[in-house]
C-alpha cells in the first residue's frame, strides 16, 4: 500500500503559499510577516538537514556493523566446513576433525 512517504518526489511539491501566490493582493505591511515566515522555514530546514546528517551517519555505522557481522559469519561458516574436509578459498585443505555423533536418549513409554 502506497502512502505519502513512498511516492517519489512528493516532498518537493510546493504549495500556493510557498510559491507566493495569493488570491488577494499583498499589503505592504506584510513584509515583516514574510520575513518572519521565511526565517522560520529556514530554521526548520536547517534542523531537518542536521537530523538527516545524523541519520546518515547512523545508517552508515549500522551498515559497517552488518558488513562486519556478515564477514564474521562467513568466516565461521568456512571454519565449520573444515570438519567436513572441504577446501578453503586459498586452495589448501582444512584440518579434519572427528565429529562425535550424539545419540538420542530413548525412554520407553508405557500406556
Place of cell 570438519: 83
How far apart (Å, rounded) are the C-alpha atoms in residues 63 and 69?
A: 10
Total domain count for the chain?
Answer: 1
Task: Please give the pLDDT value at position 54.
Answer: 96
104 within a domain of the structure (yes/no)? no
In a domain, 89, yes or no: no
Range of the domain at 61: 13-81
Distance separating alpha carbons of residues 68 and 76, to the nearest angstrom: 12
**Inside any domain, residue 32:** yes
How confident is residue 51, by pLDDT bands cut at 50, 70 and 90? very high
Average pLDDT over residues 35-55: 95
d(CA 38, CA 41): 5
Is residue 93, in this structure, part of any structural domain at all? no
pLDDT at residue 18, rounded to an integer: 64
Flag whether 90 is in a domain.
Answer: no
Amino acid at each position: 500500500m502506497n502512502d505519502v512517504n513512498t511516492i517519489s518526489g512528493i516532498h518537493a511539491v510546493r504549495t500556493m503559499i510557498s510559491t507566493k501566490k495569493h488570491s488577494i493582493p499583498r499589503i505592504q505591511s506584510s513584509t515583516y510577516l514574510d520575513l518572519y515566515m521565511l526565517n522560520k522555514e529556514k530554521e526548520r530546514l536547517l534542523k531537518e538537514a542536521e537530523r538527516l546528517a545524523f541519520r546518515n551517519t547512523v545508517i552508515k555505522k549500522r551498515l559497517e556493523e552488518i558488513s562486519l557481522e556478515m564477514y564474521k559469519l562467513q568466516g565461521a561458516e568456512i571454519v565449520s566446513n573444515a570438519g567436513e574436509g572441504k577446501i578453503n578459498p586459498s586452495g589448501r585443505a582444512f584440518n579434519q576433525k572427528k565429529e562425535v555423533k550424539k545419540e538420542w536418549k530413548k525412554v520407553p513409554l508405557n500406556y
